[in-house]
Amino acid sequence: MTHKNNAYFIVNFIFVILIGIALGYSYFFYPNNHPIGCIVKDMTGEDCSTCGFSRAFSSFTHFQFNEGKLFNKHAFGCYLFFVSQFF
């Protein structure tokens, strides 16, 4: 294996680990049990464009797709991207 291929493998392995952690977080902290809140909402009191993503991802990992889309209508495309990158 050349140095270039080895570096490519390492970067991809790191991405798999990070995406796996994010999906695991989404699975184990079901929609209303997330310990990390939205910083923008905490500071301004208003929803940001990504509010509801964590709850939506949690719903998607439990195959509750309609419920997840109610939390944030843009989250499903992002979820599909990360799941496809994981595999």
pLDDT digits (tens, 9 = 90+) for 14-67: 988 998 888 888 888 766 666 677 787 888 888 777 788 888 888 898 898 998
What is the number of residues in the chain?
A: 87
- Cα 53 from Cα 72, distance rounded (Å): 6
CA dihedral 41→17→21→62, nearest 10 degrees, is 110
Q: In sequence order, which residues have a C-beta less than 8 Å from that of residue 67 and are 6 or more positions away?
A: 31, 59
Q: pTM of the predicted model, to two decimals?
A: 0.70
Q: How far apart are alpha carbons 56 and 29 in whole angstroms?
A: 11
